[in-house]
Amino acid sequence: MENAITVKNVTKSFKLYYDKPSTLKERLVFWNKKKSESHIVLENINLDIKKGETVALIGVNGSGKSTLLKLMTKIIYPNQGEIITNGKLTSLLELGAGFHPDFTGRENIYFNASIFGLSRKEIDKRINDIIEFSELGEFIESPVRTYSSGMYMRLAFSVAINVDADILLIDEILAVGDQHFQDKCMEKLKELKNSEKTIVIVTHDMGAVKKLCTRAIWVYEGKIKMDGNPNKVVDNYLKVCG
């Protein structure tokens, strides 16, 4: 089976500044101050994610799961090693990033989908699905600033999930909207899973991991502690951290 995501010897560290000099003035004035400390978030990670797998990254806060996800999207780059992705990739790190409050829902669909790299034609083809999935009805023609936070989330999720990418990266956003919409999202994810898409999710919802995923990876202090069958990994994780 072909790899969708290959993570090779990846190390990522962040510089922690006590008082970050962001301007030239500060750099000149405080040139002799102790500058920063390096904090290693991920250490020598090796990971192969095969096409069609649904993988959950689990772990306590600050263990490096989200950083790993961000590295996969190419928002940030590793200090060492490399990450190769194979196929069109969509990330849902935060819903509605880049929504323009003055634009209508429909316009924002075009804007948001274009951020994911879709062309006009591709968006035209999907726009009805997106609007239908969001259940916004006539609100789609009102500016996004008039939306409730739930509506906002629903619109954003509908766009991202209908982009039709080969790889979908999701960060702790399964708790979208009301129960009805959550169930719908779950259904959609299952449908994507069955259509041979590769999905990587970061979540604390262990029930969802067991229900949805084919593999779970437990990240602990920047290293992979356990990798394999979701039931086993989740049980072990809950024993230690629960």
Catalog residues that contact another protein under the rule CB under 8 A. 14, 22-25, 27, 70, 73-77, 89, 91, 93-94, 97-98, 100, 102-103, 110-111, 113-120, 123
CB of 139 to another protein, least distance (A): 20
175, 26 contact by CB (below 8 A): no
Nearer to another protein (CB atom), residue 92 or residue 216: 92
- How many other C-beta atoms can be found within 10 angstroms of the C-beta atom of residue 112? 25
CB of 76 to another protein, least distance (A): 5
Nearer to another protein (CB atom), residue 103 or residue 220: 103
CB of 97 to another protein, least distance (A): 4
Nearer to another protein (CB atom), residue 54 or residue 108: 108
Amino acid at 232: K
Nearer to another protein (CB atom), residue 129 or residue 183: 129
Q: What is the DSSP string of the chain?
A: --EEEEEEEEEEEEEEESS---SHHHHHHTTTS--EEEEEEEEEEEEEEETT-EEEEE-STTSSHHHHHHHHHTSS--SEEEEEE-S-EEEESSTTTT--TTSBHHHHHHHHHHHTT--HHHHHHHHHHHHHHHT-GGGGGSBGGGS-HHHHHHHHHHHHHTS--SEEEEES----SSHHHHHHHHHHHHHHHHTT-EEEEE-S-HHHHHHH-SEEEEEETTEEEEEE-HHHHHHHHHHHH-
Nearer to another protein (CB atom), residue 123 or residue 199: 123
CB of 118 to another protein, least distance (A): 6
CB of 146 to another protein, least distance (A): 15
CB of 37 to another protein, least distance (A): 15
Instruction: End-to-end CA distance of the chain: give it in Å, rounded.
Output: 35
Nearer to another protein (CB atom), residue 2 or residue 102: 102
Nearer to another protein (CB atom), residue 25 or residue 180: 25
CB of 147 to another protein, least distance (A): 17
Instruction: Supply 18's token pair.
Output: 């006590």
